[in-house]
A and B are shown apart, each in its own frame.
Chain A
Amino acid sequence: MSDNILEIKTLNVRFGGILAVNDISLDVRRGKIVTLIGANGAGKSTILRSVSGIVKPVHGEILFEGENIMGLTPEQIVKKGITLVPEGRRVFPNLTVLENLKMGAYLRKDDYEKDLSYVYRLFPRLEERSWQSAGTLSGGEQQMLAVGRALMSSPKLIMMDEPSLGLAPLVVRDIFSIIRTINENGITVLLIEQNANMALKTCDYGYVIETGNITMQGEGDKLLNDDRVKEAYLGKSRNG
């Protein structure tokens, strides 16, 4: 088996004639944190949605552990071990926290008690609030729930779409430390972020995406110190 848990080859996605993703190829190494950064509408979310089967690409190849998963249903893809933490948290507001977590394990036939206690250990706050409906949680707690829910399917690859969106800076730091913990426990992470600074500091490898194309790639620190990245995404001018 190759080192790459996920390989995307010349992926093309169109929305009603508009090319959202244009011939993108990228690799995700097993056990690493890989991040995609880029502006709004660059096509980052579309890539994740294609991998999880919610969006149907025009052509290209998506290999998960060497096996082409393009054209499979979201259900089959979750079963293979890929989970998406959707953008904007998207917890089920009228279900309780516990029910939300159980939804994450919906396709599992085996016992998920171990994963439940793992998630509760990771997020003690969720255990305290397990009987509360998810809509009453704060933004940060909802994001924790979204991550916990994704972990309940015991994935090999977890994909996160903007986990820091709309959260207070302190909470963002918590979320990123959780991401690192999850990764240290052996789950590969593919992360999309607007918060390029935090994302690049956390990740092992990064891709910069602009209007459907990959314009740069490299290790996190290298991108962090790259002038073009600094100017475009980190808000530092060239002379500053």
Chain B
Amino acid sequence: MWEKNKRTICNLILVGLIIVLLICIDTFAPATSMWFSVLRKVCTFALAAVSMNLLNGFTGLFSLGQAGFMLLGAYTYAIFTIPVNMRSNVFRNYGDSVIRFQMPLVLALILAGIVAAFFAFLIGLPVLRLKSDYLAIATLGFAEIVRGLVQLQSFGPVTNGPDPINMFTAPKSIMVYAAISGISILIIVLMINSTYGRAFKAIRDDEIAAEAMGINLAHHKRLSFVISSFFCGIAGAMMAMCNTSVSSVSFTTSMTYQILLVVVIGGIGSISGSIIAAFIFYASSEWWLKFLDLETYTKAGSKVPLLGPGFRMVVFSVLIMIIVLFFRQGIMGTREISVYDGIMKIRSVFVKDKAKGGESHE
């Protein structure tokens, strides 16, 4: 058990360092720094990816409804946090909003999760009878239906129809995003390490054996689906905060694929993998590779070949292919990051005694 405690302490130190780093960036970086927009997005999609991982990686349910649940969360959050005096302005095309009060941020976030979870519960009843590809198609369909429905004119007074919602509470500080994302991910991690989490993994590994052990398949699948969607809803609310405007057109299927990509790159079944991959993915696509999209000229005045709008995505796609080719299991596989094991591994390279390095389980 001492071994395990050392691991936990080392990982806590790592989390502490990350928090200190975030605070430093938050206070010292210039207001125009890319760190802000990138880290907000990373926090948002890290949570989205971890919640997708709970379902796809830990329970083995291949669902592609993430965009739909995020949309529900984003709309719920946005609708309930517009200041009362702004409402008639935002909803000007529909007279006024039917909701005439403003919720505090935390309550609205939780409500966003609950709305997403409620819809997950409803569609989970019929949809979770399906398996693998069929489940993916059904949930994909759900996401598209939701996206279509919120645009309906008759829902205008609630959802503002096809017009975007804005003016709602959108905190700027990275720490808010990090806190929401961090707490949510912590809850998911505790869940995965509980008896329920073990049952999810058992279902993923072998449904028939799980059933023979007396695990109620339908109940556990629904539970995983609802919890995953709850946090997807919160991630959606965070996305609304990031963009300071919510519009159904941004919750497309391609966003679900992006999240799936993050999960696959990070490793299906690894929480820390999802977080690392979310950082790499959004930092490089939104920031580090941005220069590829600009037409650049050398000092002599000739244009640098290839660089120009759209080239960033070409390079980015090639990078993803390289990652997938060389890390078949994703960056982390099914393992979790462990500082202690890392230190032991490095030490065993230098100190040639038989130090126990090796496996990093949990």
Could you list which residues of chain A lie within 8 angstroms of chain B, going by C-beta atoms? Answer: 52, 54, 73-75, 77-79, 83-86, 90-96, 99, 102-104, 106-107, 131, 133, 149, 153
Contacts and interface: CB of A to CB of B under 8 A. Distances in A.
Interface string B173-210: 00000000000000000000001001101101110111
B289 to A, nearest CB: 34
| Interface range for B | 20 to 34
B212 A84 contact: yes
A153 B209 CA distance: 14
A184 B23 CA distance: 65
B208 A54 contact: yes
11 contacts: A54-B208, A78-B213, A78-B214, A86-B208, A90-B206, A90-B208, A90-B212, A103-B210, A103-B213, A106-B214, A131-B361
Contact of B201 (A91, A94, A107): A94
A102 B361 CA distance: 17
A84 B213 CA distance: 8
A86 B209 contact: yes
Contact of B211 (A54, A94, A153): A54
A153 B202 contact: no
A87 to B, nearest CB: 9
A92 B209 contact: yes
A153 B361 contact: no
Contact of A94 (B195, B205, B213): B205
B216 A86 contact: no
A131 to B, nearest CB: 7
Contacts of A96: 361
Residue among B204, B206, B216 having the largest count of chain A Cβ atoms under 10 Å: B206
A92 B201 contact: yes
Contact of B209 (A77, A79, A91, A94): A91
Contacts of B199: 103, 106
Nearest to A54: B211
A93 B214 contact: no
Nearest to B203: A92
A93 B209 CA distance: 11
B211 A74 contact: yes
A104 B195 CA distance: 12
A45 to B, nearest CB: 11
B134 to A, nearest CB: 19
A17 B84 CA distance: 64
A120 B298 CA distance: 72
A77 B213 CA distance: 10
Nearest to A83: B212
A94 B334 contact: yes
B205 A93 contact: yes
B201 A74 contact: no
Nearest to B218: A73
Given A75-B214, A107-B214, A153-B213, A102 B208 contact: no
Given A75-B216, A99-B201, A103-B215, 20 more contacts: A52-B212, A54-B211, A74-B216, A75-B214, A75-B215, A78-B214, A83-B212, A83-B213, A86-B208, A86-B212, A90-B209, A93-B205, A93-B206, A94-B205, A95-B205, A96-B361, A103-B202, A104-B213, A107-B214, A153-B213
B215 A94 contact: no
A84 B202 CA distance: 16
Nearest to A131: B361
Residue among B210, B214, B216 having the largest count of chain A Cβ atoms under 10 Å: B214
Given A94-B205, A95-B205, A54 B212 contact: yes
Contacts of A131: 361
B202 to A, nearest CB: 5
Contact of B205 (A73, A79, A92): A92
Interface string B256-293: 00000000000001000000000000000000000000
B198 A102 contact: yes
Contacts of B212: 52, 54, 74, 78, 83-86, 90
Residue among A90, A131, A149 having the largest count of chain B Cβ atoms under 10 Å: A90
A75 B214 CA distance: 4
A85 B208 CA distance: 11
Residue among B208, B209, B212, B213 having the largest count of chain A Cβ atoms under 10 Å: B212
B208 A94 contact: no
Interface in B219-272: 269
Nearest to B216: A75
Contact of A153 (B195, B205, B210, B214): B214
A214 B214 CA distance: 29
Interface string B8-28: 000000000000000000000
Contacts of A78: 212-214
B361 A106 contact: no
Nearest to B334: A94
B155 to A, nearest CB: 40
Contact of B198 (A86, A90, A99): A99
A79 to B, nearest CB: 7
A153 B213 CA distance: 8
Contacts of A93: 205-206
Nearest to A133: B361
B56 to A, nearest CB: 14
Contacts of B211: 54, 74
